[in-house]
Chains A and B, each alone.
Chain A
Amino acid sequence: MLKIFKYSFYDVLRSRWTIIYFLFFFISTLSLLYLSNNLSKAITSLMNIILTIIPLISMIFGVMHYYNSRDFIDLLLSQPVKRKEVFIGQYLGLSISLAAGFLLGILIPFLFYGLSVSVDVWNFAVLAAAGVFLTFIFVALSFFISLLNDDKIKGFGIAILTWLYLAVLYDGMILLVFVSFNEYPLETPALIFTLLNPIDLSRVMVLLQLDISALMGYTGAVFNKFFGTTGGMVLSMASMLIWIILLLIGINKVSSKKDF
């Protein structure tokens, strides 16, 4: 598995895309810091970019990577290697290289602007952790989707739709629920909805770290209370991890049964 991981990791690193991915985060972080000159503000704007771009790119890149290395996978599968190892190795190679590109891309500008002396270290850590988690979740999701669909176009379509659903439509659905059940106390449902969607969860966790959380009033206080406790922290971590684990189990199951 280590060998497959290594091969896949280097393969992705060598491709132009990771460099572009890295440069994208590097340049956008640098320009945001340069323009706002305030770490907290930069983190808010960066959060918007991260929450949209990371899931989207991870998804597209995952699907692309799978379909492109389909021949290689077929070759590997004819060797005496476990199917599980082939796919998990590929998965880890891709997601770790993407996560590395993202982390370096935002870390270097922040270090350059003096993150080490700032009180925003913790905010930055939450943002970085959210980005890494999102990378792992959405790469897994893309592998799962492309394993289920041999048709490239269909795979791409479903991947984009899934992204659209989690990044945009899900919030619309929440809003619809809020509008319909306005008479009821909605804080707990809001909390549950947030925990279920990794993008929303990342957004709320980052926002609660920032000054802007003061705007969130009573609901914000409920959220703060929840995420302030160890239990809440563990639960939100667990929610992210469960996404990854469930998807990996899914990949494993589908790949072991699939007729290649």
Chain B
Amino acid sequence: MKYYLIFLFIALQQGLNLAATIVVCKTCPVSAIAHAVQLAKNGDEIIIKPGTYKERGILIDKSVRVTGENYPVIDGENLGEVINIIADSVLVQNIVIQNVGSSYLQDRAGIRITRSKHCILNGNKLKNTFFGIYLAHSDSCVIRNNEVQGIPDKESNTGNAIHLWYCRNNLIEGNRLSGHRDGIYFEFVEHSKIYGNTSSDQIRYGLHFMFSHHCDYFRNKFSGNGAGVAVMYSHDISMHENLFSDNWSPVSNGALLKDISDSRIYKNVFEQNTIGLYAEGCHRIEIANNDFIKNGWAVKILGTSENNKFIENNFIANTFEVVTNESRSHNLFEKNFWSDYSGYDLDKDGIGDVPHRPVKLFTYIVENIPPAIILLKSLFIDLLNLAEKVAPVITPETLTDTKPLMKQVQW
């Protein structure tokens, strides 16, 4: 009897914590997701059967697991937000969310997480949502393997695919994003990781972050975005093994760095961008082992950038290699491979005996007098470049690679 009571006591206590499962389907007792959330207690699981649910404003204020079976569709009918999470430890997975509708007054989102921790969004598909996934003041969340697809319109009435605002310790992994204003947008986000995402065909930036320190970006692909990738006003950033490609328009950069300091950029590939890497006001960045291939300008580094190091990068078949607007350079270029290098290596140590000057006279002129670009490919300019190469007068004396490599860097 005593044991029985104890067992009952434990069972009761367990019962309080034991997760119940609530099934939502068109013909079930619970036919609306919002209703299921109302019925649920912390720790419960809500399973959504296949079908189309015309719901919006679903407020998840309990720690529940919401799982879709065979991708049920929640349709906002262009009238407003669909899921709004304000509780910790919520899991939402395998759900299709569509048609949130754009608004000039609110930042409507497919899934919004506000002031919550440890939430997971996994394998969801968002279509035609104004903002896709919107996190504000939320920490330690995981956004993994979601597909966010927008219908791009104008910059002013298209939202961002994944938007984070004042967040910490988040992981954004393996998402496929397209057709938004910005693919991934970070503002005031710290200690977060962006890993293995594909962000393409956005109107503006594939990745856009500001005031976001101590973040890691690796193995992402950013291609075909209106203006490439922009990283601004941050320090301690690590970007590696990313691909920046096909950002080809008069306003595009592979990656734009503005006021970035103490950061590392390595093993990235910059291919076929108007400007591969654009740096303005950047300090103490180490740029090593990157490939710059077939860009208009491989690197554009403005005079306000100091103490950056370009070491062991490959510059291959770019129209212009390096451009700067200063006559003096405070950045180090060393042991890079330049496909334009025309020197020789007599002692066969793999390092060219003549320094390489990546800044051509014409690039320098264009930087100071932009309309002069109409002389591009003119015979006069070719002669001028040749003359300057033989006897440099105007191009920055200090911006030279004193140890150019004879062979491509293998990394």
Residues of A within 8 A of B (CB): 44, 47-48, 51-52, 167-172, 174-175, 178-179, 182, 186-187, 190, 194, 200, 203-204, 207, 211-212, 214-221, 223
Q: Which chain A positions have C-beta within 8 A of B374?
A: 174, 190, 194, 200, 204, 216, 219-220, 223
By secondary structure, the A interface counts as helix
Q: Which of A170, A178, A214 contacts B372 (CB 8 A)?
A: A178
Query: B379: CB under 8 A from chain A?
Result: yes
Q: Which chain B positions have C-beta within 8 A of A48?
A: 377, 379
- Whole-angstrom distance between the Cβ of A117 and the nearest chain B Cβ: 22
Residues of B within 8 A of A (CB): 248-250, 252, 274, 296-297, 319-320, 365, 368-381, 383
Q: Which of A167, A169, A204, A221 contacts B250 (CB 8 A)?
A: A221
8 shortest interchain CB distances as A-B pairs: A171-B380, A186-B371, A215-B296, A219-B371, A171-B378, A168-B380, A190-B371, A178-B369
What is the CA–CA distance of A48 and B379 in the complex, to the nearest angstrom?
8
Q: Which chain B positions have C-beta within 8 A of A47?
A: 377
Q: Which chain B positions have C-beta within 8 A of A204?
A: 374
Q: Which of A44, A168, A179, A217 contacts B383 (CB 8 A)?
A: A168
Whether A216 pairs with B372 at a CB distance below 8 angstroms is no
- Whole-angstrom distance between the Cβ of B316 and the nearest chain A Cβ: 14
The answer to whether residues A218 and B274 also contact, given A47-B377, A171-B380, A212-B296 and a CB cut-off of 8 A, is: no
Whether A175 pairs with B248 at a CB distance below 8 angstroms is no
Q: Which chain A positions have C-beta within 8 A of B378?
A: 171, 200, 203
Q: Which of B368, B371, B373 contacts A215 (CB 8 A)?
A: B373
Whether A216 pairs with B373 at a CB distance below 8 angstroms is yes
- Whole-angstrom distance between the Cβ of A203 and the nearest chain B Cβ: 6
- Whole-angstrom distance between the Cβ of A188 and the nearest chain B Cβ: 10
- Whole-angstrom distance between the Cβ of A179 and the nearest chain B Cβ: 7
Instruction: Beyond A178-B371, A200-B378, list 9 extra A-B contacts (CB 8 Å).
Output: A44-B377, A167-B380, A168-B383, A175-B372, A190-B371, A219-B370, A219-B371, A220-B374, A221-B250
Closest to A215 in B: B296
Q: Which chain A positions have C-beta within 8 A of B274?
A: 214-215
- Whole-angstrom distance between the Cβ of B137 and the nearest chain A Cβ: 40
What is the CA–CA distance of A223 and B383 in the complex, to the nearest angstrom?
25
What is the CA–CA distance of A46 and B370 in the complex, to the nearest angstrom?
26
Q: Which chain B positions have C-beta within 8 A of A168?
A: 379-380, 383
- Whole-angstrom distance between the Cβ of B374 and the nearest chain A Cβ: 5
Q: Which of B369, B373, B377 contacts A220 (CB 8 A)?
A: B373
Q: Which chain A positions have C-beta within 8 A of B370?
A: 217-219
Whether B376 pairs with A212 at a CB distance below 8 angstroms is yes
Whether B252 pairs with A214 at a CB distance below 8 angstroms is yes
- Whole-angstrom distance between the Cβ of A38 and the nearest chain B Cβ: 11
Whether B376 pairs with A207 at a CB distance below 8 angstroms is yes
Closest to A206 in B: B377
Whether A219 pairs with B383 at a CB distance below 8 angstroms is no
Whether A218 pairs with B250 at a CB distance below 8 angstroms is yes
Closest to A211 in B: B248
What is the CA–CA distance of A219 and B320 in the complex, to the nearest angstrom?
18
A-B contact pairs, 28 of them (CB 8 A): A47-B377, A48-B377, A48-B379, A52-B379, A168-B380, A168-B383, A169-B380, A171-B375, A172-B380, A175-B365, A175-B372, A175-B380, A178-B369, A178-B372, A182-B369, A190-B371, A200-B378, A204-B374, A212-B296, A212-B377, A214-B248, A214-B249, A215-B250, A215-B274, A215-B376, A216-B250, A217-B250, A221-B250
Whether B375 pairs with A175 at a CB distance below 8 angstroms is yes
Q: Which chain A positions have C-beta within 8 A of B369?
A: 178-179, 182, 186
Whether B376 pairs with A214 at a CB distance below 8 angstroms is no
Q: Which of A167, A187, A221, A223 contacts B379 (CB 8 A)?
A: A167
Whether B379 pairs with A212 at a CB distance below 8 angstroms is no
Q: Which of B248, B249, B373, B377 contacts A203 (CB 8 A)?
A: B377
What is the CA–CA distance of A37 and B247 in the complex, to the nearest angstrom?
22
Q: Which chain B positions have C-beta within 8 A of A169?
A: 380
What is the CA–CA distance of A186 and B372 in the complex, to the nearest angstrom?
9
Closest to B375 in A: A171
Which of A190, A211, A219 has the largest count of B CB atoms less than 10 A from its CB? A219
- Whole-angstrom distance between the Cβ of A177 and the nearest chain B Cβ: 10
